[in-house]
Every structure is written in C-alpha cells, then in structure tokens.
C-alpha cells in the first residue's frame, strides 16, 4: 500500500506468515522478518531482521563485519558472555522483556539460558554498507493523547515490530493499522513521517540508513 502524499511505501508483515527455519547447530529456530536484498543469504545481506527461539545454551554464530542488536521478547532471559582481550569476559544480561544487547558480529559470544527457552528479536547490519538504529517505544493507554506519543520516522527503511500488542499504528494521515504481537510494518524511505501508536504494549522501531555505495546497489 502507498501512503497519501508520496510519503513512502508500507508493507504489512504478519507474524503468522513468517517461516521457521532450524539453526545449523540445532539450538533453536529463526524466522526472517525482512532483509535487504530480499532473499539474501547470510553472507550477502546488507541488513536482516529476524525473530529467534533459543532452545539451549551454546555459542553464537559469528558474522564478520556485522553489527548486531538483540532484544529479549519472551522467556526468563539469557546471559551473553562476550570474550574480550586478555581473557576478560563481558556479560550482556537480558533478564527482562525488552532488554537490549549490542555487540559486534565477529565477537565470541556464548549464551547461557537463565530458566528455559527464550525468544529474541535480532537486527543485523553490515557496518560498511549501512547503519542501524533500534529504539523501544512503550505504549500505554494513558499516553494516547499526549503529544510526545507521536514520533517522526526518517530513514532509508524503517521497521516497526510489535513486540507486545495489539496496537493501532497511524502513519501520517492514513487509516490506523492494527498490529498483533509479532507483526511488522516496513516503511521504505519515510521522510519526517508522523507516527502514532495507541493501545497497550511496545514497538521496536528500527531505522536503516544506507551508505552512498549501498544505496545505489539496493535500488
């Protein structure tokens, strides 16, 4: 669907349509939400957004040249032990829903589950081709009429992932769209596009900004 006024093209991605694919090591499954280029392999994407179910502890796959952002969606959580220089270990603690961890894809990461399986949101961006941002937008009924509840979207690609819903999301002057938990709105080339969410829950707002070289290759 195309927004009025030429403000961008919006794609609604339903959680029910996502396809689960087992990890190579059998430690869980992943569901790709969107990627660029479309259907790109793990060695060729500029960016990729996915949801993963982590069933057991173990090492993360390494992705050289990739910046990663993880958000805990469900489960008791996990501890990500990142090996650093001289034997030092930094632990990223994801213990509450919507906790965020950021790390380099080439880092040596070992995951420990706190109490059973977890589900997480995963943003991966090739750092020489694009820059990715992720913000957590918490939505409550009390905020519905507050001016600060309206946001502005400006990016080469924006994605709004409903981590808790349902939520009614309004883009510009278009009719509100109902997002259930796990649904995503992808907006291509929004430019100061007003966005408002109503209901009770949370959105993960992702903004992708291409480098000049990558922008040419994605057209």
Of 84, 109, 126, which residue is a domain's last? 126
The pTM (predicted TM-score) of the whole model is 0.91
**Are 109 and 139 in a shared domain?**
no
Instruction: Please name every residue paired with 111 in a beta bridge, in sequence order, or none if there are none.
Output: 58, 80
The residue with tokens 């991605």 is 13
Query: Dihedral of the CA atoms 191, 194, 198, 202 (nearest 10)?
Result: 40
**Are 51 and 94 in a shared domain?**
yes
**Are 109 and 200 in a shared domain?**
no
Number of domains present in the structure of the chain: 2
For 100, the domain range is 19-126
**Are 91 and 25 in a shared domain?**
yes
Per-residue pLDDT tens over the stretch 57-116: 988 888 999 999 999 999 999 999 999 887 899 999 999 999 999 999 999 999 999 999
CATH at 140: 2.60.120.10
Neighbours of 187 (CB within 10 A): 22
Mean pLDDT of the chain: 89
Nearest C-alpha neighbor of 163 from the set 214, 122, 107, 110? 122
**Are 25 and 99 in a shared domain?**
yes
Neighbours of 117 (CB within 10 A): 14
Contact call for residues 75 and 151 (beta carbons, < 8 A) = no
**Are 106 and 166 in a shared domain?**
no
Per-residue pLDDT tens over the stretch 133-144: 999 999 988 765
């Amino acid at each position: 669907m195309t927004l009025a006024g030429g403000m961008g093209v919006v794609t609604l991605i339903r959680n029910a349509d996502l396809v689960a694919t087992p990890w190579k090591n059998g430690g869980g499954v992943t569901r790709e939400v969107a990627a660029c280029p479309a259907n790109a392999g793990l060695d060729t994407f500029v960016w990729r957004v996915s949801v993963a179910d982590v069933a057991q502890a173990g090492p993360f796959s390494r992705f050289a040249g990739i910046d990663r952002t993880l958000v805990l969606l469900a489960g008791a959580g996990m501890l990500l032990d990142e090996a650093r220089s001289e034997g030092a270990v930094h632990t990223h603690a994801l213990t509450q829903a919507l906790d965020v961890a950021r790390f380099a894809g080439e880092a040596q990461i070992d995951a420990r589950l706190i109490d059973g399986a977890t589900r997480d949101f995963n943003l991966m961006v090739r750092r020489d081709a694009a820059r990715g941002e992720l913000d957590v937008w918490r939505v409550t009924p009390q905020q519905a009429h507050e001016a600060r509840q309206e946001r502005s979207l400006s990016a080469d690609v924006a994605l709004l992932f409903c981590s808790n819903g349902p939520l009614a999301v309004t883009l510009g002057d278009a009719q509100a769209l109902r997002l259930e938990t796990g649904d995503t709105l992808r907006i291509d080339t929004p430019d100061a596009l007003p966005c408002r969410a109503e209901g009770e829950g949370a959105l993960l707002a992702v903004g992708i900004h291409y480098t000049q070289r990558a922008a040419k290759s994605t057209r």
